[in-house]
Structure 1
Amino acid sequence: MTFESLGLSPSLATAAATLGIKNPNDIQREALPVALRGDDLLATARTGSGKTAAYALPLLQQLLHRPPPRGPRRTAALVVVPTRELAHQVGELLDALKRALPHPPRVVVAAGGVSINPQMMALRGGADLVVATPGRLLDLVRHNALRLDAVAHVVLDEADRLLDLGFADELREVMGLLPAQRQTLMFSATFPPALQHLATTMMRSPVQVAMNESESETDEPIRQRAILVDGVRRAVLLRHLMTQERWPQVLVFVATQYAADHLARKLHRDECYATSFHGGLSQGARQQTLREFKEGRWDVVVTTDLAARGLHIDQLPVVVNFDVPRSAVDHTHRIGRTGRAGMAGLAITLVTPAMLPQWSLIAKRLNLQIPLEQLPGFETTEPVPEPAPGGGGIKGKRPSKKDKLRAAAAAAAAAQSSTGSAASASAHGAPATRG
């Protein structure tokens, strides 16, 4: 099957081929026809499966056949993403694809961490497509630099993160500024049922596509290992594995910004080219670190879950969970930084005795059949904690306070959306079809 057979224009198919995207993969085969028809879409596919191209290609094609929005400071298409790094990566792909078009659309990337003034200047006269994080998008609207009332196509990338508690209020405000008649596409690697229900309230009879790992034809599986080790010996074991396995590069996940800085300094003192990457750094420092890592100038980048979503590094061979992830969803996103675009990858989780119950829960929820290894010279001496009374103390056994707040926010948003739809339909004499 070819991109042209799915309805994509020859010029865009050629542009994709120049980037190494020669034939549509599973998610692209399913998503492109739906997006090109103008239907709403809720798509779930593993990280590294080509989701960005699955919406970027039809977006660009629809802009080719659509007159520019009338009036200043307007845009016809909008892509909303949760992180600055993902915003820039999506913008780079769109820029690369549009170069082959006879009349390239104007694409503007807007994200926080830098001055808003250049982005306001870029939007003077409008833009065909805007890629933005929710906070900076709302800042631009409040500065009267951008209007969203002419948006015909909106994409939520990493939609589960945008619908989650941390972005829910901003996203609700953004969606309220969009016209009722629009196409909405949502893409994510994971979609908990509660958030999936909330997502459908913002869409019109969406087509739902879910690509399971077993359905993939092109992606090599990510090989996983779990190693039991005392907490105080994790850094020594990490350095031992790097030396023994001769990894060219590794992305290491920890729980906090402090831990990222601390471990990076420890590795650097041990003559390893390591640095940290987290939300406490300036945007300039974050972009520089990513650029240098992609250029191979760092052996190790120690990061928080900031890098678990949307971060694309070609041929990244290894991901290490130095700290066990907080949830099964976080584990899925973390290990998805390796094994991308058909490349083989390795993901290793260092499990301390204290975190063994948490790891067991993650493995059970993801149906991971991974033997727990103990390496010679790194046998554990720390005790395994007793299970908490009532099954508490481990995320997932019982809803935490944050879980309860998240569920309450989702329920409130769904109720508000339903009420708003009914009121709007009553005012216009039309049935309520959108939240």
Structure 2
Amino acid sequence: MSLVEQFHLMNLDQRLLSAISDLKWERPTDIQQAVIPLALEKKSICVQARTGSGKTGAFSIPIIQSILETKIFQSEQSTSALILAPTRELCSQISKDIKSLCKYASKNVNVFDLAQSDDIDLLGPLLAENPDIVVGTPLKISEQLLRKRLTLDALEHLVIDEADLIFVFGYEKHMQALQTFLPKKSIQVILMSATLDEATFSLRGFFKLSEWVRVELPEENFLPSESQLAQYVISADESSKYAILISMIQLKLIRGRTIIFTNSIDRCYKLKLFLEEFGVKSVVLNSELPVASRCHTVQQFNRGLYDYLLATDENDSEGVTNAPKRDKLLKPVKDAEYGVSRGIDFKLVSNVLNFDFPLTAKRYVHRVGRTARADQMGTAISFVDSSEESQLSEVANLLSQNEASNPRADQTNKAGSFSVYQKWTDLDIVQWQDVAGKITRKRIREARLKEIKLELMNSERLKSYFEDHSADMDALRHDKLLSSTQQAHLKDVPEYMVPQTLQALIRGSNQRARDRQRYRPSSWAKGRQRFTGKAKASTSAAGGNAEKPIRMHQLRCHRTKMAIARNPEKVAQIKRQMARKKKAANPLFNFGKKR
């Protein structure tokens, strides 16, 4: 089968091509080149491709194209496509991606995300309109089918994303219920998964189809190559993990958006409280919070409002036989349809840090797959203690086996090697170790309860307001402080504690912070009100002579800056000199009164 390497060669609708162009998709990915032509031929497909390879677009584009073609000859409104996903977050992302592809065809293609609302009174009227595409978890779909609010008589396409997780999340009985509502006619079924295991093949048994087309890209590794993804390991015991992490953050060894994974929610909140002690803001993606709040957190993280997102994949019990029993102080009701390490499309993630090493090799692959997506660079750092050495070996074996099974893969860009992170060995971490010990279980419990109360209060009081003021939604941040005890002196690292190899890096960063503090606009305003008269008097006393210009390169010297800051006349002189330069550069610039 020949692959089609351009979207405009796939005979797609012009409205769909325009939306693809707006999304900056220059050419289809490898998996899209293989799947879209087969899906347009209405074949049932079982697809294996790693995270970030464009699977959502691979099944969304042919479904939208089929609906647009059907609408030309058929005016009756009906549900023709059903998309299932194991988590609400993934449903929200799929719905958003499909709506962006329907940007110029929104009047012809209706998309409804069933998993985002539990309001029965609201769902009834919306489903009564028979939306063209319905997205939801098997639980939500089966509930509405049993209530006879959703009909699948005209169904033509059924897609199951992350198919290998459907049984892991306990949806087997819901899939059995769904099977009884499927039309007797032949429909197209597409199974998308990062791994084609026994669960995926058993899922195929729910659909009585004689022919399946299996699509795999054997030249792909589980993870990107070393040239795109750098994987590091740091040997650290439990008492050192917190100290190493905060030292790496304060010394700017970790830059950009970072996802930090732990193995439990309690560990996330302990880490958040620890970072707050040093003035580092972070946000927890908590399965106990409403799904709207979780999706809003992901959206704000993708827009750059937060740099550090703390998450866990404890709901993903895939391959875990004997999970460690710890942090059982709280037993709140968690969302069974929550998941973050699989499928969620985090944007521009620079680093993934495994604060707790994943319990299985597959979890490691899915966690690290959050970074180095498409053609972007990424870094994965894992803390490993002595009890987790066997899990590290399991990950290394899995990646090496994948390389060995792909003879066409470029062996010079292998993805299965780990490097020891060397920079932290110069750090004096003793200064930070005692802070983590002060974060007790009582503080963790109080922090969790406080955040839940804040979210409930925001949900009730602001729901109606945000309906009319959507732009103000950004003001509702999720990284608010959960602890009332912060130590201001911990925010900065004293220069005498910085290793010699990192002196240049931290000195420049701290100097810029001090400069911003010293020359902030409020101090300029106070100086203008306080010293304007003195500056004018000194000018007139000099007999009206022109001021001696100050060369701007002199301001680079820290001692010169300090001297000028103590001399208000020099401050006023510098301001006037800079204003004249602006006026000379732009004749339309008007500064103060004309002389």
TM-score of the superposed pair, with normalisation by structure 2: 0.59
Judge conservation of contact 1:268–1:275 (CA < 8 Å) in 2.
no
Give the match for residue 433 of structure 1: none
Aligned partner letter, 2:419:
P
State the Cα deviation string for residues 389-418 of structure 1 (Å, max 9, x = none).
xxxxxxxxxxxxxxxxxxxxxxxxxxxxxx
Structure 1 residues 140 and 61: CA distance shift in structure 2, 3 A: same
Judge conservation of contact 1:233–1:378 (CA < 8 Å) in 2.
no
Give the match for residue 47 of structure 2: 43
Aligned-partner Cα distance in 2 for 1:138–1:117:
17
SS in 2 for 1:108: strand
Aligned-partner Cα distance in 2 for 1:11–1:330:
39
Give the match for residue 376 of structure 1: 425
CA displacement at 1:70 relative to structure 2: 9.5
Structure 1 residues 373 and 379: CA distance shift in structure 2, 3 A: farther
CA displacement at 1:268 relative to structure 2: 2.1
SS in 2 for 1:369: coil
Aligned-partner Cα distance in 2 for 1:259–1:191:
32
Judge conservation of contact 1:46–1:213 (CA < 8 Å) in 2.
no
Q: Which consecutive unaligned segments of at least 5 residues does structure 2 have? A: 314-338, 401-415, 430-595
Give the match for residue 210 of structure 1: 216
The answer on 1:304 being equivalent to 2:312 is yes
Judge conservation of contact 2:86–2:169 (CA < 8 Å) in 1.
no
The answer on 1:270 being equivalent to 2:278 is yes
The answer on 1:9 being equivalent to 2:13 is yes
The answer on 1:94 being equivalent to 2:98 is yes
The answer on 1:188 being equivalent to 2:199 is no
CA displacement at 1:125 relative to structure 2: 2.2
The answer on 1:280 being equivalent to 2:280 is no
Aligned-partner Cα distance in 1 for 2:144–2:76:
16
Give the match for residue 350 of structure 1: 383
SS in 2 for 1:209: strand
Judge conservation of contact 1:6–1:29 (CA < 8 Å) in 2.
no
Aligned-partner Cα distance in 2 for 1:246–1:370:
18
* Residue in structure 1 matching 2:236, options 217, 229, 232: 229
CA displacement at 1:258 relative to structure 2: 1.3
Percent identity over the alignment is 27
Give the match for residue 109 of structure 2: 105
Aligned-partner Cα distance in 1 for 2:221–2:231:
19
CA displacement at 1:277 relative to structure 2: 0.7
Structure 1 residues 323 and 102: CA distance shift in structure 2, 3 A: closer
Give the match for residue 359 of structure 1: 392
SS in 1 for 2:383: strand
SS in 2 for 1:315: coil
Give the match for residue 391 of structure 1: none
Judge conservation of contact 1:105–1:128 (CA < 8 Å) in 2.
yes
Aligned-partner Cα distance in 1 for 2:130–2:51:
32
SS in 2 for 1:252: strand
Judge conservation of contact 2:20–2:101 (CA < 8 Å) in 1.
yes
State the Cα deviation string for residues 16-71 of structure 1 (Å, max 9, x = none).
11101121110000000111000011111111111101111001001112259998
Give the match for residue 80 of structure 1: 84
Aligned-partner Cα distance in 1 for 2:176–2:228:
36
Judge conservation of contact 2:47–2:215 (CA < 8 Å) in 1.
yes
Give the match for residue 387 of structure 1: none
Aligned-partner Cα distance in 2 for 1:215–1:291:
29
Structure 1 residues 176 and 323: CA distance shift in structure 2, 3 A: farther
Structure 1 residues 331 and 79: CA distance shift in structure 2, 3 A: same
Q: Which has the higher helix share?
A: 2
Give the match for residue 169 of structure 1: 173
Aligned-partner Cα distance in 2 for 1:202–1:348:
40
Structure 1 residues 379 and 82: CA distance shift in structure 2, 3 A: farther
Structure 1 residues 246 and 379: CA distance shift in structure 2, 3 A: closer
Structure 1 residues 322 and 38: CA distance shift in structure 2, 3 A: same
Q: Which consecutive unaligned segments of at least 5 residues does structure 1 have? A: 381-435
Q: Which has the higher strand share?
A: 1
CA displacement at 1:269 relative to structure 2: 2.3
CA displacement at 1:261 relative to structure 2: 1.7
SS in 2 for 1:208: strand
Aligned partner letter, 1:182:
I
CA displacement at 1:162 relative to structure 2: 1.3
Structure 1 residues 36 and 163: CA distance shift in structure 2, 3 A: farther
SS in 1 for 2:352: strand
CA displacement at 1:114 relative to structure 2: 3.9
1:373-412, aligned counterparts within 5 Å? 373=421, 375-376=424-425
State the Cα deviation string for residues 314-356 of structure 1 (Å, max 9, x = none).
2111111111112122111111111122211111111111111
Aligned partner letter, 1:234:
K
State the Cα deviation string for residues 360-394 of structure 1 (Å, max 9, x = none).
112212222213446415799xxxxxxxxxxxxxx
SS in 1 for 2:108: coil
CA-based RMSD: 2.6
Aligned partner letter, 1:52:
T
Size of the alignment, in residue pairs? 377
CA displacement at 1:307 relative to structure 2: 1.1
The answer on 1:124 being equivalent to 2:128 is yes
1:148-159, aligned counterparts within 5 Å? 148-159=152-163
Structure 1 residues 352 and 61: CA distance shift in structure 2, 3 A: same
Give the match for residue 26 of structure 2: 22
Aligned-partner Cα distance in 2 for 1:316–1:166:
30
Give the match for residue 414 of structure 1: none
Aligned-partner Cα distance in 1 for 2:51–2:120:
30
Aligned-partner Cα distance in 2 for 1:213–1:290:
32
Aligned-partner Cα distance in 2 for 1:211–1:116:
42
Aligned-partner Cα distance in 2 for 1:259–1:310:
23
SS in 2 for 1:151: coil
* Residue in structure 1 matching 2:298, options 290, 293, 297: 290
Aligned-partner Cα distance in 1 for 2:427–2:121:
54
SS in 1 for 2:61: helix
Aligned-partner Cα distance in 1 for 2:418–2:428:
18
CA displacement at 1:223 relative to structure 2: 2.1
State the Cα deviation string for residues 127-177 of structure 1 (Å, max 9, x = none).
111011111112222332212232110000111111435222222322332
Aligned-partner Cα distance in 2 for 1:309–1:174:
23
Structure 1 residues 300 and 167: CA distance shift in structure 2, 3 A: same
Aligned-partner Cα distance in 2 for 1:346–1:122:
43
Aligned-partner Cα distance in 2 for 1:215–1:276:
30
Judge conservation of contact 2:160–2:192 (CA < 8 Å) in 1.
yes
The answer on 1:258 being equivalent to 2:263 is no
